């Protein structure tokens, strides 16, 4: 291993020796350099981009940041006035040069090396000169060192004035890897291990049509990823590459970095990657080859920690607004059970927990089935299904009507009242259905810890998905299981009495509000036709009243009452839902603005990876809000943290680009982006710094104005 490293050192010394000889023989430089600036004038506190435009003679080349088996990268030494600070070089995508058993990464023809230069807020106004000494190694057959001193003038004033070179620099930014959409990639050890050589397998989901792919590694002193690349057979839409890693010293590396390259004919697109070996950078393609080792997750986090996050997230769901109506029913149930036998109370708690767990495991089964079919699954995805919203609205309305006392469950009750009244009953079936309903209503909400845990789970195999969903279900049911297992804690509750009937009716109102909310969500899919669902709910209420008044309270039942109930339901269904609303035949409608944001104080624009790339190229801060109409946490963030005066003012003063990612209909592109950041659903709020070299700031699920203002302040630096 040391011998290989020494051989590389001697090879580079030999190149330098040959280059020195060539210089002594007075060879002319074959590379010309020009220093360009994105602005002629810039304000204090802003950033200007410097571009080193290199033009090489035909057949000559310079080297990338990782030159490969030989060569040296171009270096820049700045001489800047006080108050200016230069960042790191942003390298364009290189070419791969194969010569016998050597691989190098080069720039030929023309290349633009970009450097962000920050003008401090305290910088004095006036005309200044930026000067830099740039050194390179240029090669054809022999190699020559080259250098030049270049300069450019910049004015610091009260206005930003783009230069004539701005368009050229913007075009150069498009050639920098990572300026487009990012990849969902994994890397893991593959194949046998020798003393100092090991193979790696890289896999990622492609972002467009490609004819070939490659990986250009970053340089590292302790190991080398060799140039040859073996492309493996992979499922459609994915790329699998095998690379060889040679270790020089120390332990085997835990991370690698470099550029994934997608090739389509003459077009090449690069994506910067920094990957933990054996773990995904965002969300990994599913499959048996990607299964994590026992006790660890593919995100590099211990499995026990992610399961703890899932449990805590499920626990916190109990205080989220989605689940509050069901909590009220459980409180009513506890009051009724407070004086019962302890074993019966425990049984109720266990049956409720069973209802929650069965529901969570059923959702896990749906996720596994969707992934097996090659589709992407997400938390709350069922709320993007219009038929699900219609059915849920009907069920929740029936629950509310039952709480109001329009009809009651009896031993001979059929489907209609069974669906609507189970939730308000104190029997075992009622406890189980309460658990099911709590789970269904919890899915539009994302609690702290839960987003990270589910984002982890959705990228794993079937076993870990089941474990994670089970842990979340255990967290949601834990408080009720704990109370039922300690009946003595229920003694503080008031004694059962007439007040319980009044409380039961009062609880019908939050349940009715839930029905109105789910009804409003249907407008996203049915537009004006959603009013017919409201009309059907009125007809359903009439049928429930007729059934309760003339069947259940008629002393043994009434045939005319049953016929009238059936006729009202049947007529309402076919005349309203089928004929007018056409609830089973939804078709795509116009683009959805997302949560009414188009009418708010912030001028949101639709999110796209291209919009992010353009704004980053312009060094403009970006606020991205991935949201959905059915996500109550998202709506709370909007009203309490985003659309507040202080945040709106800061967005406008910083010229922040606000981008809205509407996940209401669960579009796949946004699902991919959520997975890239380790989230299984919304909300996800990102703040991109104006410095394009810095990664986005990922904010927590529940926001405050202070959290947003702090992130925006960091993004402006």
Specify the 3-state DSSP secondary structure of 606.
strand
Q: What is the DSSP string of 123-153?
A: PPPEEEEEEEEEEEEEESSSEEEEEEEEEEE
Q: What pLDDT, on the 0 to 100 scale, is given for residue 79?
A: 94
Give 50's DSSP letter: E
Which CATH superfamily includes the segment(s) 597-715? Glutaredoxin (3.40.30.10)
Are the C-beta atoms of 628 and 682 separated by less than 8 Å?
Answer: yes
Q: What pLDDT, on the 0 to 100 scale, is given for residue 426?
A: 47
Q: What pLDDT, on the 0 to 100 scale, is given for residue 385?
A: 76
Output the CA–CA distances (angstroms, integers) from residue 657 to 513, 519, 645, 649, 701, in the order listed: 35, 33, 17, 13, 21
Q: What pLDDT, on the 0 to 100 scale, is given for residue 308?
A: 86
Q: Which CATH number fits domain 185-290: 1.10.10, 2.60.40, 3.30.379, 1.10.730?
A: 2.60.40
Reported as a single tens digit per residue, the pLDDT across 210-242 is 888 999 999 888 889 988 888 887 777 788 898
Q: In 323-385, where does DSSP find H-type helix?
A: 324-337, 342-372
| Residue partners of 523: CB distance under 8 A and separation at least 6 | 530
Angle at 13 between CA 11 and CA 19, to 5 degrees: 105
Identify the residue whose tokens are 């074993």: 343
Low-confidence ranges of the chain (pLDDT < 70): 1-28, 100-101, 179-182, 191-194, 279-301, 320-341, 370-383, 409-428, 430, 435, 438-439, 441-453, 455-456, 458-459, 487-500, 555-557, 586-599
Token pair, residue 392, equals 């849920």
Please give the CATH topology (third level) of the domain spanning 2-174.
Immunoglobulin-like (2.60.40)
State how beta strands 161-162 and 267-276 pair: unpaired
| Comma-separated ranges of CATH 3.40.30.10 domains in the chain | 597-715
Q: What pLDDT, on the 0 to 100 scale, is given for residue 169?
A: 92
Are the C-beta atoms of 423 and 399 separated by less than 8 Å?
Answer: yes
Closest listed residue to residue 136, CA positions, set 62, 79, 60: 62
| Comma-separated ranges of CATH 2.60.40.1250 domains in the chain | 2-174
This prediction has a pTM of 0.45
Q: What pLDDT, on the 0 to 100 scale, is given for residue 538?
A: 93
Beta bridge partners of 162: 39
In sign, the C-alpha dihedral spanning 197, 203, 208, 212 is positive
């Amino acid at each position: 291993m040391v011998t290989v490293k020494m051989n590389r050192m001697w090879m580079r010394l030999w190149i330098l020796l040959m280059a020195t000889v060539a210089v002594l023989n007075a060879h002319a430089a074959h590379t010309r350099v020009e220093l360009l600036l994105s602005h002629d004038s810039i304000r204090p506190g802003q950033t200007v981009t410097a571009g080193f435009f290199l033009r090489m003679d035909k057949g000559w080349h310079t080297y990338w940041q990782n030159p490969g088996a030989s060569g040296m990268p171009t270096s820049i030494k700045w001489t800047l006035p006080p108050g200016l600070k230069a960042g790191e070089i942003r390298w364009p995508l290189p070419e791969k040069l194969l010569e016998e058993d050597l691989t190098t990464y080069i720039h030929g023809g023309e290349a633009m090396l970009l450097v962000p230069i920050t003008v401090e807020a305290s910088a004095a106004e006036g005309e200044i000169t930026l000067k830099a000494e740039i050194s390179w190694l240029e090669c054809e057959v022999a190699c020559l060192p080259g250098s030049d001193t270049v300069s450019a003038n910049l004015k610091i004033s009260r206005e930003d004035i783009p230069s004539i070179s701005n368009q050229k620099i913007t075009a150069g930014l498009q050639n920098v890897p990572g300026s487009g959409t990012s990849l969902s990639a994994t890397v893991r050890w593959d194949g046998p291990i020798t003393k100092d050589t090991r193979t790696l397998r890289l896999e990622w989901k492609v972002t467009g049509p490609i004819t070939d792919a490659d990986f250009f590694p970053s340089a590292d002193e302790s190991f080398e990823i060799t140039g040859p690349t073996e492309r493996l057979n992979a499922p459609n839409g994915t790329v699998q590459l095998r690379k060889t890693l040679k270790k020089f010293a120390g332990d085997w590396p835990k991370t690698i970095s470099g550029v994934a390259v997608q090739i389509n004919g003459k077009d090449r697109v690069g994506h910067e990657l920094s990957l933990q070996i054996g773990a995904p950078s965002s969300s990994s393609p599913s499959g048996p080859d990607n299964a994590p080792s026992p006790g660890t997750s593919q995100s590099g986090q211990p499995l026990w920690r992610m399961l703890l996050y899932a449990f805590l997230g499920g626990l916190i769901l109990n205080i989220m607004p989605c689940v509050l109506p069901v909590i009220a029913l459980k409180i009513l149930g506890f009051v009724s059970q407070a004086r019962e036998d302890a074993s019966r109370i425990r049984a109720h708690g266990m049956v409720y927990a069973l209802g929650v767990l069965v529901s969570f495991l059923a959702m896990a089964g749906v996720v596994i089935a969707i992934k097996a079919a090659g589709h992407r699954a997400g938390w709350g995805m069922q709320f993007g299904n219009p038929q699900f919203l219609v059915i849920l609205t009907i069920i929740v309305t029936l629950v509310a009507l039952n709480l109001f006392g329009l009809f009651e469950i009896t031993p001979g009750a059929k489907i209609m009242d069974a669906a609507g009244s189970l939730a308000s009953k104190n029997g075992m079936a009622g406890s189980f259905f309460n658990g099911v309903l709590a789970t269904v209503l919890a899915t539009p909400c994302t609690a702290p810890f839960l987003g990270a845990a589910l984002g982890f789970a959705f990228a794993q195999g079937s076993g870990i998905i089941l474990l994670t969903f089970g842990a979340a279900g255990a967290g949601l049911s834990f408080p009720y299981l704990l109370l039922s297992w300690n009946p003595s804690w229920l003694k503080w509750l008031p004694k059962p009495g007439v007040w319980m009937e009044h409380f039961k009716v009062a609880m019908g109102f939050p349940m009715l509000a839930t029905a109105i909310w789910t009804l409003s969500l249907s407008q996203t899919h049915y537009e004006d036709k959603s009013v017919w669902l409201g009309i059907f709910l009125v007809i359903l209420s009439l049928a429930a009243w007729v059934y309760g008044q003339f069947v259940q309270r008629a002393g043994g039942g009434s045939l005319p009452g049953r016929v009238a109930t059936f006729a009202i339901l049947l007529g309402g269904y076919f005349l309203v839902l089928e004929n007018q609303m056409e609830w089973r035949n939804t078709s795509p409608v116009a683009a959805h603005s997302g949560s009414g944001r188009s009418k708010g104080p912030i001028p949101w624009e639709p999110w796209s990876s291209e919009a992010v790339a353009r704004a980053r190229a312009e060094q403009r801060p970006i606020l991205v809000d991935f949201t959905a109409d059915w996500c109550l946490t998202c709506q709370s963030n909007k009203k309490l943290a985003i659309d507040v005066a202080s945040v709106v003012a800061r967005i406008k003063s910083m010229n922040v680009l606000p981008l809205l990612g509407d996940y209401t209909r669960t579009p796949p592109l946004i699902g991919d982006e959520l997975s890239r950041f380790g989230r299984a659903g919304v909300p996800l709020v990102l703040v991109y710094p104006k410095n394009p070299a810095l990664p986005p700031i990922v904010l927590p699920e529940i926001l405050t104005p202070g959290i947003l203002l702090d992130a925006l302040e960091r993004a402006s630096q």
